[in-house]
Chain A
Amino acid sequence: MSIIISILAIGGFLCLYRIYQGPSIADRAVGVDIMGILFVGITALSALFYDLPYLMDLSITLVLFSFIGTLALAKYLEKRSLDD
């Protein structure tokens, strides 16, 4: 069981490497996006392993927050204001 979460955590560390190393801002934005989706998977698998259904609510919330954060980063990259 913990092997699966360890594999996903290794993926998160690879995303951290890309966020640290990335040559441009867009690379870092991509790394943040992918790391958010990996955390959604880790949260859902924790809900399955420890049999705690409320962690799945946290998973749904993480999906939506990751979406909003990525859209804000994309608007910043496009040099538009947030209420445009």
Chain B
Amino acid sequence: MISPIGWIIIWIGVAFDILGAIGLVRFPDVYNRLQASTKCVTLGTFGIMVGIFLLKGFTPMGIKALICGAFLLLTSPVAAHALMKGSLHFGTKLWKGTIVDKYGEDKLGGEQIEKEEK
């Protein structure tokens, strides 16, 4: 009973992975690419890990898969956030169809606050 559920979850994860990779190619802007691909690929690889755990159960491989999924959920959004903040400070331009840019409006105030804190 467990085995088909594990394979279905692995296939869903692979589908999310390939959709994230297609989004990395097709989206127009670095921020859109980062948003689409990071969410999709994180959920997809986490789905693969959960599927391996469901297939293998409480064996060493299953427990390692759970640990790997926990590390993935902890590290990947943090890395994406740091990358997005770094590209904003680097000065990568937004897409020309962007409507809302709150960070660009608040950028001077934010820098002053950071300097006061230091």
Contact = CB atoms under 8 A, between A and B. Distances in A.
B9 interface: no
A78 interface: yes
Interface string B15-33: 0011011101100001001
A19 to B, nearest CB: 10
Contact of A77 (B48, B49, B79, B87): B87
B108 interface: no
Contacts of B25: 14, 17-18
Given A44-B68, A77-B87, 15 more contacts: A8-B17, A8-B18, A11-B17, A29-B86, A30-B30, A37-B42, A40-B72, A44-B45, A45-B52, A48-B55, A48-B61, A53-B64, A60-B64, A64-B71, A70-B82
Interface of B: 10-11, 13-14, 17-18, 20-22, 24-25, 30, 33-34, 37-38, 41-42, 44-45, 48-49, 52, 55-56, 59-61, 64-65, 67-68, 71-72, 75-76, 78-80, 82-83, 85-87, 89-90, 92
29 contacts: A8-B18, A10-B21, A18-B25, A24-B90, A26-B87, A26-B92, A27-B30, A30-B30, A30-B83, A33-B83, A34-B24, A34-B37, A38-B17, A38-B41, A41-B13, A41-B48, A44-B49, A44-B65, A48-B55, A53-B59, A56-B61, A56-B65, A60-B64, A60-B68, A67-B76, A73-B86, A74-B79, A77-B86, A77-B89
Interface of A: 4, 7-8, 10-12, 14-15, 17-18, 24-27, 29-31, 33-34, 37-38, 40-41, 44-45, 47-48, 53, 56-57, 59-60, 63-64, 66-67, 70-71, 73-79
